[in-house]
Amino acid sequence: MKWVKSLQVKYLMIIFIAVLIIPFSVPFVSMLVFVPQIAMDDQKSTFEGFSQLEELWHEEAKQLADQSDTIISQHLQELHKKYPESQMFWVDRSGKTRETYNYEGELPDKWTPSYTIQFMKQHFDADPFTVVAFLGGDSTNGFMVIQVDRTLLEPPIQRLSDHYSYLYMIIVIFILFLFIFLSWLFFKGIHKRLLRLTNAMQDRSELGIPHTVVISKIDEIGELEKSFNQMITELEHSRKREQEAETLRKDLIANLSHDLRTPLTTIRAQLSIVNEEVKSIKGNEALKSVDQKIDYLSALIDNLFSYTLLSAGKYPYHPEQTDLNRLIRKIAAQWYPVLEQQQFAIDINTHQEPIYWTIDPQWMERLIENLLQNIIRHAAEGRYVGITLSKQGNGGQLLIQDKGNGFKEKSEKQGAGIGLTIVDLMVKEMGLTWSIETSEEGTVVKIVCP
C-alpha cells in the first residue's frame, strides 16, 4: 500500500490544510468583507470628512449674513433634513438660544461669554465632532453649531478596522468549524466502512460463514477488508471440506449399521439352531455369552445409527405434553423382567400428581433405556436401579441412580460413550438439562425440566 493512500496521511493533510487556511484566508476574507462595505458606505455617506464638514458649515454660515431670524431658522431646518444624523442649534445676536434640531444635551436660554468659552473648550476635539460658525462671519450676529458622531466622519476602512479583531476571530472560528466538519466527514467514512464489516460478520451464508465485502479503497481499512475476504475464502474451503468429510462419515456409519444388521440376524438364527444341539453346560455358557455379545453389538449398531440421525437433524422429533409419571411406570414395567433376571433391586418413586413435560415420549423412552443399559453393562456389581421423579417449581427432576463403582472404574464392556452422547443430544434438543454425579458409591444422573 502506498503511503499517500494511508488514512493517517490523509488526516494529517486535513490538519495541514486547516493550519494553512488561517493566515492565507485573512487577506481574501478582508477584501471580501471590506470592498462591498466601502462601496456601500460611499453610496450612503453624508459627510466626506472632518475638514469638509468644517468648511461646509462655515460656508453655510456666511450665506446667512444680515438674514432675518425666520430665514435663518428655515435654512437650518433644511440643513437638518439634509443631514439627519447631525445635531444642530443656533444662538442669535442677543445670546438667546433659538431652534434646536435633534440636540440631546441641555442648553441655556441665555448665553454668556464665559459659558460660550466653556462650551467651545469642552467640545474641542471631542466626540461628537463640533463645528461653531459665526453668522456672516461676524461674531456680533450670533453663531450656529453642528455636532456629528465621529464614526460618521471617519473613512470606512478605519471604521471596519475597529472590528477587525472580531472579524479575525470569526475567521478562526470558521476555520475551526471547517476542520471539525472535515474531520467528522473523514471519521464518518471510516465508521461507515467499519460498520459494513461488522454487518458482513453478522450476515452469514448457508454455510454459516459471513459473505465477502467489496474493497472500497486501498488503505488500512482496505487492507483489512482484503484480509477479511481472504479469511472468508479459506473458511468456506475449510467448511466445505468438513461438510464433505462429515457427510462421508455419516454415510459410512449409516451404511455400516445397515450392513451389520443382516449378518447379525443370520448369526442369531443359526445360534438358536446350534443351541438345540449343544448339551454340555460349558457349551451352553459359551452360546449364552455369544448371544449377549450379539445383543450388545446390535445395541451398539442402533446407537451408531441413532447418533448419525441425531447429529444430522433427521431423527423424527414430535414434542407433546407428556405425563412423566405414566411414562416412567410404563418403562419400568417393560424393564422389570430384565432387571429382575439380572438380580437388580428396583426402586421406583413417582409423584402423586401428574407432572407434565413438553417432550417427545419416544425420545424420552430411548433416553432412559440408554441409561438403564449403561447401568446393566457398567454398574452391574451394585445390583441396584433407582428411578425417582419429583416436582420442582413449575417443572420437575428425574433421578436415575445405581450403586456401582462409578465412572472412574474401568468397565469390562466398552462403548458406553456413544450412548451418553445420544442422551446429551436428546436432552438438549428437548430443552432439558442434565448432570452426572459419580463416586465409588455409585452414579446419579439428574435430568431437569426448567
Q: What is the DSSP string of 392-436?
A: ETTEEEEEEEE-S--TTSPPSS--HHHHHHHHHHHHHHTT-EEEE
164 vs 202, which has greater pLDDT?
A: 202
pLDDT at residue number 309: 74
pLDDT at residue number 402: 94
Q: b/e map of 198-218 (b: 16 or more CB within 10 Å)?
A: eebeeeeeeeebbebbeeeee
pLDDT at residue number 44: 47
Ranges of CATH 3.30.565.10 domains, the chain: 318-449
Residue 366: exposure state from Cβ atoms within 10 A (0-12, 13-18, ≥19):
middle
Average pLDDT over residues 204-214: 77
Residue 328's pLDDT band (boundaries 50, 70, 90)?
very high
**pLDDT tens profile 6-45:** 666 667 777 777 677 666 666 666 665 555 555 555 444 4
Pairing of strands 384-392, 320-323: unpaired
Average pLDDT over residues 349-356: 87
102 vs 222, which has greater pLDDT?
A: 102
Ranges of CATH 1.10.287.130 domains, the chain: 211-315
**Topology annotation, domain 50-153:** Beta-Lactamase (3.30.450)
Average pLDDT over residues 423-427: 89
Question: What count of Cα atoms within 13 Å lies in the side-chain half-sphere of residue 62?
Answer: 6
Rg (CA), the chain: 55
Q: Which of 22-36, 180-194, 259-273, 344-358 has the highest mean pLDDT?
A: 344-358
Supply φ then ψ for residue 213, to 5 degrees.
-115, 155
**pLDDT tens profile 382-408:** 999 999 999 877 778 999 999 988 865
Which of 80-94, 142-156, 262-276, 345-359 comes out lowest in average pLDDT? 262-276
11 vs 322, which has greater pLDDT?
A: 322
If you classify domain 211-315 with CATH, what class do you get? mainly alpha
Do 253 and 308 touch, CB atoms closer than 8 A? yes
Cα separation values, 18 from 90, 166, 176, 188, Å? 59, 20, 8, 19
Percent of the chain with pLDDT over 70: 83
If you classify domain 318-449 with CATH, what class do you get? alpha beta
Average pLDDT over residues 340-352: 89
Ranges of CATH 3.30.450 domains, the chain: 50-153
pLDDT at residue number 175: 75
Percent of the chain with pLDDT over 90: 19
Position 411 pLDDT exceeds 50: no
- DSSP secondary structure letter of residue 212: P
pLDDT at residue number 238: 85
198 vs 107, which has greater pLDDT?
A: 107
Average pLDDT over residues 167-186: 77
286 vs 436, which has greater pLDDT?
A: 436
Average pLDDT, the chain: 80
Position 343 pLDDT exceeds 70: yes
Q: Which of 87-101, 154-168, 242-256 has the highest mean pLDDT?
A: 87-101
41 vs 340, which has greater pLDDT?
A: 340
pLDDT at residue number 275: 72
pLDDT at residue number 302: 75
Residue 322's pLDDT band (boundaries 50, 70, 90)?
very high
436, three cell numbers: 452426572
